[in-house]
């Protein structure tokens, strides 16, 4: 193995150790590791811009601006109070209700946007009900990754796979949708078994919670009616654009003939357009909004993309993937190796660069076997593998970052204990369903 490859591996392991140790903030650890590989030339400037997924970073940035602007209206408190009242004072019902909402919204929006919208509400409910927010936040992370795996637009790896393999929205619903419904039911059962005992309350405590919630007026939570209405309108507009972003040219061409009908918008563009509209329309102070952005999360992603880019540049990821599948004798074996390699690797490195490295490999395998089942194996492993660790998926980092700003600590090791269990159970069930469909 070449010296540069060994250095890239050493920097990755060193950075990962710093992240696990947690004495140095993960954003600083990622930036430091990125600085090393850039300084010694493993990732040159031209390649650096290729490895950093600005689509993900700008999507996060745009949605953070929208969420932080809307927060000043009382929108999230309003929704949180309504949701908590539906739970009738039961902590378990709150957990289940928010998990289901998170999964469904993540399937038809991207899961990062979903947790940006729902996490402030969940924290508000936990404060009002005087509950430990950690079980709710962890469940929200798992639900966002499970729900996001169900559709083409729910998780970045699915978008990448669909683009390269030519898969449609309906194909994702048909092949992965039913799997995620089953996995979601299993997830809720697991969360009940793990956290249910700690969330049990006596009848008197439950009645007290109900009285406390009934004493809250959701309409009174709206502190700025004008901003509330504008926020709802812009969020609805952004959600609509997410659904039609790839066909926006066709629609605009009807009324504006000079627009290229083949034009589409990237999800990041949609988020930034929505952010610009809301800031302009609401006339909120941009300084105040920008101060609330989760900058550490954005810099963490940037640094992580560069570090993993070093592994890609030196051929490490491609070599490992090639070794894993070079002696595959059947489609079933290839499915097994790809799904578990993608799942375990996605728990260690971000699933976006991992998916980018696996896509050309599957194209190569398609010359000797049917590649169609392999795409679903990659999607399943990459999306659900993100549940394994605190840095396995974008949604994980965002939720934990928001929690940190509120003084709520979710350590890497504590998340790992539950996350790896969720990973192995949900991926095993999902692979079993895929195998029965394609390999029997």
Residue 278 has pLDDT above 90, yes or no: yes
Average confidence (pLDDT) over 193-209: 78
Answer yes or no: are the C-beta atoms of 142 and 387 closer than 8 Å: yes
Average confidence (pLDDT) over 150-154: 83
pLDDT (0 to 100) of residue 294:
82
The number of C-alpha atoms within 13 Å of 6 and in the hemisphere containing its C-beta is 3
Residue 229 has pLDDT above 70, yes or no: yes
Residue 91 has pLDDT above 90, yes or no: no
Q: Quick: pLDDT tens for 394-412.
A: 789 889 988 988 889 888 8
**What's the predicted TM-score (pTM) here?**
0.76
Identify the top-confidence range among 192-206, 281-295, 374-388: 374-388
b/e burial code for range 344-383 (CB count within 10 A of at least 16 → b): bbbbbbbbbbbbbbbbebbeebeeeeebebbbbbbbbbbb
Residue 372 confidence class, pLDDT cut points 50, 70, 90: very high
d(CA 65, CA 193): 37
d(CA 425, CA 423): 6
d(CA 253, CA 267): 20
d(CA 256, CA 342): 44
Answer yes or no: are the C-beta atoms of 249 and 119 closer than 8 Å: no
């Amino acid at each position: 193995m070449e010296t540069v490859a060994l250095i890239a591996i050493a920097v990755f392991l060193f950075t990962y150790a710093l992240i696990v140790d947690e004495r140095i903030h993960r954003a600083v650890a990622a930036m430091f590791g990125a600085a090393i590989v850039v300084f010694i030339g493993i990732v040159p400037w031209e390649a650096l811009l290729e490895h950093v997924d600005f689509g993900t970073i700008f999507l996060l940035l745009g949605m953070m601006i929208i969420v932080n602007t809307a927060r000043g209206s009382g929108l999230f408190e309003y929704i949180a109070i309504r949701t908590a009242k539906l739970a009738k004072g039961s902590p378990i019902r709150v957990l289940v209700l928010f998990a289901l909402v998170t999964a469904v919204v993540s399937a038809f929006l991207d899961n990062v946007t979903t947790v940006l919208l729902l996490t402030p509400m969940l924290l508000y409910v936990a404060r009002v009900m005087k509950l430990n927010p950690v079980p709710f936040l962890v469940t929200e992370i798992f639900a966002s990754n499970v729900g996001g795996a169900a559709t083409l637009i729910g998780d970045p790896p699915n978008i990448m796979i669909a683009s390269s393999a030519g898969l449609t929205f309906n194909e994702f619903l048909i092949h992965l949708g039913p799997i995620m419904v089953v996995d979601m039911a299993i997830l809720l059962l697991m969360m009940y078994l793990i956290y249910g005992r700690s969330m049990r309350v006596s009848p008197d405590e439950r009645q007290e919670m109900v009285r406390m919630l009934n004493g809250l007026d959701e309409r009174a939570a709206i502190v700025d009616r004008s901003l509330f209405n504008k926020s709802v309108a812009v969020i609805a507009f952004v959600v609509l654009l997410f659904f039609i972003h790839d066909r926006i040219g066709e629609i605009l061409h009807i009324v504006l003939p000079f627009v290229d009908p083949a034009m589409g918008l990237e999800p990041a563009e949609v988020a930034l357009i929505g952010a610009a509209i809301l800031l302009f329309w609401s006339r909120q102070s941009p300084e105040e909004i920008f101060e609330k952005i989760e900058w550490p999360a954005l810099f963490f992603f940037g640094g992580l993309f560069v570090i993993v880019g070093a592994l890609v540049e030196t051929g490490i990821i491609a070599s490992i993937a090639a070794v894993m599948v070079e002696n595959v004798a059947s489609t079933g074996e290839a499915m097994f190796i790809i799904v578990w390699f993608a799942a375990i690797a996605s728990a260690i490195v971000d699933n976006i660069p991992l998916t980018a490295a696996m896509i050309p490999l599957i194209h190569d395998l398609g010359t000797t076997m049917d590649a169609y089942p392999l795409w679903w194996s990659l999607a399943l492993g990459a999306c659900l593998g993100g549940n394994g660790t605190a840095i396995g998926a974008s949604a994980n980092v965002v939720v934990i970052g928001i929690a940190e700003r509120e003084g709520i600590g979710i350590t890497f090791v504590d998340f790992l204990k539950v996350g790896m269990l969720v990973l192995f159970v949900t991926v095993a069930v999902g692979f079993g369903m895929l195998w029965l469909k394609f390999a029997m």
